[in-house]
Amino acid sequence: MAGQGDLKLLGMLESPFVIRVRMALHLKGVSYEYIEQDLSNKGELLLKNNPVHKKVPVLIHNGKPICESLAIVQYVDEVWAATSPSILPANPHERALARFWAAYVDDKFFPAWLGILKAETGEERDKKMSETLPVVEQLETALAQCSNGKAFFSGASVGYLDLAVGCNLLWLDAMRKMFGVVVIDAARTPVLAAWADRFRESDVGKEVLPDADIAVEYAKKIQVYRPASK
């Protein structure tokens, strides 16, 4: 493991944003202390280190906090630049494109599928699903644009945009189990569906992406799992 000084990650196991950071640290082979947070009763450590948003993930490197998952992934890539692989593309245009689409993932894709998860009736879930599909189709376009026909968004191996999208798979898989909805469907978005399978089978997918059951359990706990509400 790469030497890194004192490195702590404040997180929550089911959070896609935390998983994204854990994936970046795994790619770089950086070891860290993981500190699970109770978001229903936020502790002093979280409030002190992310006073603006009070959210996880927070990476604390030698006492200095870095907040917001995409900023943290970029920080990790820069601090451990000498450690392969590079997470962001080297080419400035490709880097800008990857950042553009990563912002799209967080601004459009994440809220879209969260709407499906939070729907209170089957009817509402169907509506949220139909609103999500065009958002997913845009990701299919992004994949074609960024991958140049290679296996991943970032080319031949997993990189920034793969992490940005891939961390959401836990919850997409959980929603499939809970509600039978298929957000990334091979018939509608074949290239993205094949990418998702490859990502799950990649080293970072297998080592860091948790089993969907932990998201199912969490959903039950926060009561968004209402299988009888149709």
Ligand X SMILES: N[C@@H](CCC(=O)N[C@@H](CS)C(=O)NCC(=O)O)C(=O)O
Binding residues for ligand X, per CB under 6 A?
A: 12, 15, 17, 39, 54-57, 68-70, 106
Taking the complex as a whole, how short is the minimal distance between the CB of residue 105 and ligand X, in angstroms?
10
Instruction: Rank residues 10 and 27 by Cβ distance to ligand X and give the closer one.
Output: 10
Taking the complex as a whole, how short is the minimal distance between the CB of residue 150 and ligand X, in angstroms?
26
Instruction: Rank residues 2 and 71 by Cβ distance to ligand X and give the closer one.
Output: 71
Alpha-carbon torsion (150, 194, 146, 67), positive or negative:
negative
Instruction: Rank residues 68 and 173 by Cβ distance to ligand X and give the closer one.
Output: 68
Contact 29, 81 (CB under 8 A): no
Residue owning tokens 């993205």: 192
Contact 168, 96 (CB under 8 A): no
Instruction: Rank residues 55 and 125 by Cβ distance to ligand X and give the closer one.
Output: 55
Which value, in Å, is the radius of gyration of the alpha carbons in the chain? Answer: 17
Taking the complex as a whole, how short is the minimal distance between the CB of residue 221 and ligand X, in angstroms?
14
Closest-approach residue to ligand X (CB)? 55
Give the C-alpha separation, 86 to 63, whole Å.
25
Give the C-alpha separation, 4 to 100, whole Å.
29
Helices (H), 84-167: 92-104, 110-118, 122-147, 160-166
Taking the complex as a whole, how short is the minimal distance between the CB of residue 10 and ligand X, in angstroms?
9
Contact 143, 199 (CB under 8 A): no
Instruction: Rank residues 58 and 193 by Cβ distance to ligand X and give the closer one.
Output: 58
Instruction: Rank residues 57 and 159 by Cβ distance to ligand X and give the closer one.
Output: 57
Helices (H), the chain: 16-28, 44-49, 69-79, 92-104, 110-118, 122-147, 160-166, 169-179, 190-201, 203-208, 212-221
Taking the complex as a whole, how short is the minimal distance between the CB of residue 67 and ligand X, in angstroms?
7
